[in-house]
Chain A
Amino acid sequence: MTLTVAAQVQAGSLGLDATVEVEPGETVAIVGPNGAGKTTLLRTLAGLLPLDSGRIDLDGTVLDDPAADVLVPAERRPVGVVFQDYLLFPHLSVTENVAFGLRSRGTRRARARRVARDRLADLGMTELADAPVHVLSGGQAQRVALARALVTRPRLLLLDEPFAALDATGRASARRGVRRDLDAFDGIAVLVTHDLLDAAALADRIVVLEAGRVVQTGTLADAVARPRSDYVADLVGTNLLRGHARGDRVVLDHADLPTTPREPNELVVADARDGPVFASIHPHAVTVHRNRPETSARNVWSSTIAGIEQYGGRARIRFDGPVPLVAEITEAAIRELGLGVGVAIWVSVKATEITVFAA
């Protein structure tokens, strides 16, 4: 099951011209600033906005191709959508919302309701089944919206800023819930977000959209190490490490590391926490030294440079070791320190420069 998209469409002042390919079972996060065309791209996939030119092909079925005069309308696409602010129907109960897709596709009322109730029971929301949707909390509404989109077993799931309406504490648990659903979902998922954490937690790959154009695709680690533009560097160019917090220590997950560390792969952070977390370290905050520094920084490691990428007047240095990181320094600093691939260095990060989020 593959999704191939070449989308050209003029929507207001935005000209979208984007090519995206998604592999079977993959989850892709579309990231970018407001007005970059993320939601427009999603609407073309959902069938709510016809292409001016280009082609959308899902698993060998052409959904939109103006040149061939093919346009499958939204209601006949095997697509589920979770909208920004969810758009649960205010005049229907929770169960009727979840059953809506089945009813529209011809399932009998009694059976549709039974399936919807089973799904709500799986979510632990049986007691809310007959409630009107306005009594739901943000997190509950998000789960109902996802259940409503998945109940018809779509092959393509579209999520438009699924966590934007939630507060910070709600987001972490909502992300875990979506993660579970996506793990169980065997189709293709496309997630629109402007939050790097959403992309890191849910997506296999990111597509960066800027002013209607794709400026970068690849894994998040790629984008951090090799940002294609200043914009990408600023938006997604931060080191995100997954780990487990115990007080002011964060032990990094081995799965994220290139090799099993021989040295302790611990970060010292300023904010004490417990449980699974993301640690975010901006490349600006990583200092590179030729010799072991005497410093107030709580995190100091020795490492080896694995790659150097230059853009503008800046350079990003990627290094492995117990804590794989990217540092951003100037080209002048590279020359003065005589840095190059394979050079042994010391790295330091102040504990106060590390931001910790619940994962």
Chain B
Amino acid sequence: MTRRVRRPPALPLVLAGGALIVLLLPLLGLLTRAPWSDLWASVTSEDAVRALRLSIVTSLWATFLAVLLGVPLAWVLARVDFPGRSLVRALTLLPLVLPPVVGGVALLSAFGGRGLLGGPLDDWFGIQLTFSTPAVVLAETFVAMPFLVITVEAALRSMDRRYEDAAATLGAGRATVFRRVTMPLVAPALAAGAALAWARALGEFGATITFAGNVEGETRTAPLAVYLLLDHDPTAAVALSLVLLAVCVVVLIALRGRWLGLR
């Protein structure tokens, strides 16, 4: 038999090249248009710092809430058998595919001044969520939590539950089993899910501007500031975008390390 090294066919190579252009050319554009000389000044301007700080604070709160509420939800979906479980799981993951602006409208109709829960909250306690920093956190949690739930639930389903049996025979009650065995075993997935949720919360735009508005210092997060700056100070917009890009690259590298076992 003659030895022939098979070459990859041309068509997929060409199409893959097209894919790379679509994915990477915008990033290249961002880098070439970056105002490298006064980048530091742009990024440390009062408005930029305020928007960045707000973004970081709200996205961390959103991540915290997503973990606090999302881990129990993932556990229930993975471990408790109840009628309509598949439907609940599908609905839980809806924000993943929903256009964020639709999510914002939906949030308004639930938590807005005349919303399902927002109305009573306002009437009875005088609490108004809209156009406040908590509204930003709520919008970010809404879009970010499904990432955490889907990741942690998959880990809970695929983990070897016999470890939990082993812990029980060693005298560990349910809470101890959860804390000392279940959680540590799904910790890598929890970290990955939390990182994904955080990155999603940090970049949130559509639901935030719809539900929380664009109030300087209150609800104007970095993505909103970028959008606004693009009109009158494109250089500053590019600078701020670069900061967000840098944060995302760091998260991606950390995640890849986990997924590829390169830690």
What residues of chain A have their CB less than 8 Å away from a CB belonging to chain B? 46-48, 73-77, 79-81, 83, 87, 89-92, 100-101, 104-105, 148-149, 152
Contacts and interface: CB of A to CB of B under 8 A. Distances in A.
22 contacts: A46-B165, A73-B168, A74-B168, A75-B170, A75-B171, A83-B162, A83-B166, A87-B160, A87-B163, A87-B165, A87-B166, A89-B163, A89-B166, A89-B184, A100-B170, A100-B180, A101-B170, A104-B167, A104-B172, A104-B180, A149-B170, A152-B171
Contacts of B166: 81, 83, 87, 89
B78 interface: no
A91 B185 contact: yes
Contact of B169 (A81, A89, A90, A91): A81
Interface residues of B, number: 18
Interface in B141-170: 160, 162-163, 165-170
Contact of A91 (B165, B172, B184): B184
Contacts of B17: none
Contacts of B165: 46, 48, 74, 83, 87
A81 to B, nearest CB: 4
Contacts of B169: 46-48, 74-75, 77, 79-81, 149
A90 B160 CA distance: 11
A327 B184 CA distance: 56
Given A75-B173, A104-B176, A87 B168 contact: no
A76 B169 CA distance: 8
Given A75-B173, A83-B162, A104-B176, A89 B168 contact: no
Contacts of B121: none
Specify which of B162, B166, B180, B185 lies most central, judged by the most chain A CB atoms within 10 Å of its CB.
B166
Interface of B is mostly: helix
Nearest to A76: B171
A172 to B, nearest CB: 26
Nearest to A80: B169
A75 B168 CA distance: 5
B181 interface: yes
B185 A104 contact: no
Contacts, number: 61
A74 to B, nearest CB: 4
Contacts of A83: 162, 165-166
A71 to B, nearest CB: 13
A92 B163 CA distance: 12
A100 B169 CA distance: 11
A79 B187 CA distance: 29
A100 B172 CA distance: 9
A104 B180 CA distance: 10
Contact of A48 (B168, B173, B176): B168
Q: What 7 A-B pairs have minimum CB-CB distances, sorted nearest first?
A: A101-B170, A104-B171, A74-B168, A104-B172, A91-B184, A87-B166, A81-B169
Given A74-B165, A83-B162, A87-B163, A148 B184 contact: no
A149 B169 CA distance: 9
A87 B171 CA distance: 15
A80 B168 CA distance: 10
Interface string B175-199: 0100011001101000000000000
Specify which of B169, B171, B172, B184 lies most central, judged by the most chain A CB atoms within 10 Å of its CB.
B169
B234 to A, nearest CB: 50
A104 B174 CA distance: 11
Contacts of A92: 184
Nearest to B169: A81
A74 B162 CA distance: 13
A77 B168 CA distance: 10
Given A83-B162, A87-B162, A47 B168 contact: yes
A76 B184 CA distance: 23
A100 B184 contact: no
B235 to A, nearest CB: 49
Nearest to B187: A91
A295 B173 CA distance: 67
Nearest to B184: A91
B84 to A, nearest CB: 25
B181 A89 contact: yes
A208 B219 CA distance: 72
Contacts of B184: 89, 91-92
Contacts of A81: 166, 169
Interface string B51-62: 000000000000
Specify which of B176, B180, B184 lies most central, judged by the most chain A CB atoms within 10 Å of its CB.
B180
Contacts of B173: 75, 104
Contacts of A105: 171
Contacts of A48: 165, 168-169
Interface in B112-163: 160, 162-163
A33 to B, nearest CB: 22
B185 A75 contact: no
